[in-house]
Structure 1
Amino acid sequence: MNLSQHTFWKKYIARVKIDVDHAAYTKVVRSWTDVIPACPVNRLYFIIEGEGYVKIGDQTYYPKPGELYLLPAGRDQAYGTISDDTFGKYWCHFTAKIGDLDLFQILSTAPSIVVKDPVLLKETFEKLISNRRSDAFSAEFRVTGILHELIAEFIDGNAAVKLNLATTPTYEKMNGVLRYMEQHMAEQISIETLAQLAHYHPNYFINAFKQFTGYSPIQYMNHLRSEKAKDLLLTTELNVSQIADAFGMELSYFSRMFKEQTGFKPTAFRDLRPR
């Protein structure tokens, strides 16, 4: 995966829409047990004390205090106790959707991490619980932000994160389109050409492309061009006119496009280079 694709996928997963169903601290009872086929929500369990088990698909795990577990949506989930020394745990149930897909269908991870700073994570969960119960107008903004922080903590601490792109129904088609666009930035590419690459009708293609990338085709092409132009401005001595020519664009159109994408005129952006 090249740098441009990596940047795209980072932004793609950041479009996740999060909704927190429940959050609390619980010292579970001895009878705590359940089996949930194809569970519709993600579950985060931060284990503080005790013992028990969780099951994801056909794999059974025995979480220890100080570990943060994720039971991903769409998988068979189960949990239970194994002794009178039951779990004391912070937990939350949430959905995390990108279009019709769950985030952790696209992003594959190990089921758990060892928390580096348990005190800080406990405080984060306490903030989540407090804001989940709050009537303040700002509460949902804070809840969403805190859960983003928890997900980021889980991802950053995870040694087995990878994109599971085969789960994305349109991935193979759209990835071919994205590669073609990246290889032909200097050309004026028609919607019909891109639609043919994906084997879609042009009208359907535009909607499918925007759902997949968050951009219209022209917006995405201009995003590619601006990213490449930033690199050329910072690492070469090509003048702005030469860079515009490299993309097959009139200087005035290129300068306008670049400012719309970055907030800077090309010459002003070049002035940001360390001297």
Structure 2
Amino acid sequence: MMRKSRGFEGELIIEVPKIAITNCEELPLIRSLFISRMGFYPKALHHYYQRPGGISQVILLYCTDGKGWIQIQDENITVHAGEIIVIPTGIPHSYGADSKNPWSIYWFHLNGSQGNEAAYAIMGAENQNFQPIQVGFSDERNVIFKQIATTFLKGYSAANLLLANLSLPYYLSTFIAPEFFSRQNGVTTHVSATDRAVKFMQENLSRAITLDNIAQSAHLSISFFSRKFKQDTGYTPIEYFNHLRIQKGCQLLHFSDLRINEVASQIGIDDPFYFSRLFKQQMGVSPVNYRKNKGIDLH
């Protein structure tokens, strides 16, 4: 059974004033995604909302204790502790706390042109029924929430609006990739097969490892592992390994006096011509020109 992490203490609601919302819409760094309301309700026994036409903001509800319910698209859904649900703009809905074991929830209303994109990034574009997503518990996630709230509570200067809202994507990333944040007292609760494979790659950058080697490190068959890895990262395992190799090669070209063939050897490539082709394919310049210009002409 997962221990629930320490959270924000006491009820909290922050309503960002209309004038501050207007300022957010005019600040280039945050105008595409920013917070209009946020709060924390512990054991919110009588918490209930009904919005037959939806609203113009994205709603994020993260349950950390107890349970609640949401009705959306004529379906009644139970939301348990450790789950999140995000409701895009304009979606009719109602929700509330369970009468016997009421939820504790962290919540946000999000504005901006990328609000729905953020919603689907968390819930998954294929999640058409808006089912809750299990994201577990994280002390770090709650610390970020508290930092955002504390910044708003200091007032709505441009600096405060920027600081609070630039922290929002990092907060949302704790739901998009919860495996990196679901830790208690510094102990990771789950290490995925992809995590194990990437760690193996990082530890073996100087070797010419094979797909079979990588799949074995993840304790999976080659075919299943390859599909899962590409689903998780967007790359095949060998493509990903080559990215890590070239990343290491860039560091060596920057910070060492090794010759090109020695740099290649350091990342497990015996053929310097293959290394140069691979490097140029990824970085857009040859290793020689990269070293000469220290990467400045890359982009």
Q: Indicate which of 151, 155, 175 corresponds to 1:115.
A: 151
Q: Can you list the C-alpha shifts for 1:29-76, whole angstroms capped at 9, x where unaligned?
A: xxx8329xxxxx6249xxxxxxxxxx74259xxxxxxxxxxxx98159
Distance 2:37 2:84 in 1: 24
Q: What does residue range 96-115 of structure 1 map to in structure 2 within 5 Å?
A: 96-97=121-122, 105=136, 108-110=140-142, 111-113=145-147, 114-115=150-151
Point out where structure 2 has 5 or more consecutive residues left out of the alignment: 1-31, 39-45, 50-58, 68-80, 86-94, 98-106
Q: Does 1:152 align with 2:169?
A: yes
Give the SS at the match of 2:122.
strand
- 1:223–1:200 distance in 2 versus 1, CA, 3 Å: same
Corresponding letter in the other structure for 1:115: T
Do the aligned partners of residues 56 and 235 (structure 1) sit closer, same or farther apart at CA in structure 2, a change above 3 Å counting?
Answer: same
What amino acid is aligned across from residue 263 of structure 1 in structure 2?
Answer: G
Partner Cα separation in structure 2 for residue 96 and residue 149 of structure 1: 17
Q: Using the alignment, how far apart are the partners of 1:272 and 1:104 within structure 2?
A: 44
Letter in 2 for 1:112: K
Cα distance in 1, alignment partners of residues 66 and 222 from structure 2:
43
Q: TM-score, normalised by structure 2?
A: 0.47
Alignment partners' CA distance in 1, 2:137 and 2:284? 32
Counterpart secondary structure, 2:278 = helix
Partners of 1:186 and 1:95 in 2: CA distance: 39
* CA pair 121-155 structure 1, distance change in 2 beyond 3 A: farther
Deviation at 1:261, TM superposition (A): 1.9
Write the distance in 2 (CA, Å) between the matches of 1:103 and 1:268: 47
Q: C-alpha deviations, 1:224-253, integer Å up to 9, x for none?
A: 111111111111100111111222231111
For residues 120-167 of structure 1, give each alpha carbon's deviation from its aligned partner in whole angstroms, at most 9, with x where no partner exists. 49988xxxxxxxxxxxxxxxxxxxxxxx956237589xxxx9722656
Counterpart pick for 2:83 among 64, 69, 74? 74
**How far, CA to CA, are the matches of 1:197 and 1:25 in structure 2?**
45
Q: Structure 1's 237 and 103: CA in aligned 2 closer, same or farther, altered over 3 A?
A: farther
Q: Which residue of structure 2 aligns with residue 261 of structure 1?
A: 282
**Alpha-carbon spacing, 1:34–1:122, altered in 2? closer, same or farther (3 Å):** farther
Contact 2:64 2:137 in 1 (8 A): no
- CA–CA separation in structure 1 for the residues paired with 2:158 and 2:211: 50
Specify the SS of the correspondent of 1:115: helix
May I ask how many residue pairs the two structures share in their alignment? 186
- Residues 154 and 212 (structure 1), Cα distance of their counterparts in 2 relative to 1, 3 Å cut: closer
1:91 alignment partner in structure 2: 109
Identify if the C-alpha distance between structure 1 residues 241 and 204 changes in structure 2 by more than 3 Å, giving closer, same or farther.
same
Task: Check 1:194–1:106 CA distance in 2 against 1; reply closer, same or farther (3 A cut).
Answer: farther
1:102 and 1:259 map into 2 onto residues whose CA distance is: 41
Contact in 1 for aligned 2:84/2:133 (Cα 8 Å): no
Asked if 1:42 corresponds to 2:57, the answer is no
Asked whether the 8 Å contact 2:60–2:109 carries over to 1, the reply is: no
Q: For residues 210 and 256 of structure 1, what CA distance do their matches in structure 2 show?
A: 23
Aligned residue for 1:186, secondary structure, equals coil
- Do 2:205 and 2:244's aligned partners in 1 also have CA atoms closer than 8 Å? yes
Residue 115 (structure 1) shift: 2.3
SS of the equivalent of 1:203 reads helix
Letter of the 2:286 partner, please give it: K
Quote the offset at 1:98 in angstroms: 7.8
**Equivalent residue number for residue 182 of structure 2:** 164
- 1:251 aligned onto 2:264: no
* Matching residue's letter, 1:118: Y
C-alpha deviation, 1:262, in angstroms: 1.9
Give, in whole Å, the separation in 2 of the partners of 1:106 and 1:258: 41
Q: Is the 8 A contact 2:205 2:245 kept in 1?
A: yes
Corresponding letter in the other structure for 2:168: I
In structure 1, how many angstroms separate the alpha carbons of the residues matched to 2:260 and 2:284?
16
Q: Once superposed, what is the RMSD of the aligned Cα atoms?
A: 4.8
2:9 matched to which residue of 1? Answer: none
C-alpha distance in structure 1 between counterparts of 2:64 and 2:48, whole Å? 12
Q: For structure 1, list consecutive stretches of 5 or more residues without a partner in the other structure.
A: 1-19, 27-31, 36-40, 45-54, 60-71, 80-88, 125-147
Per-residue deviation, 1:207: 0.8
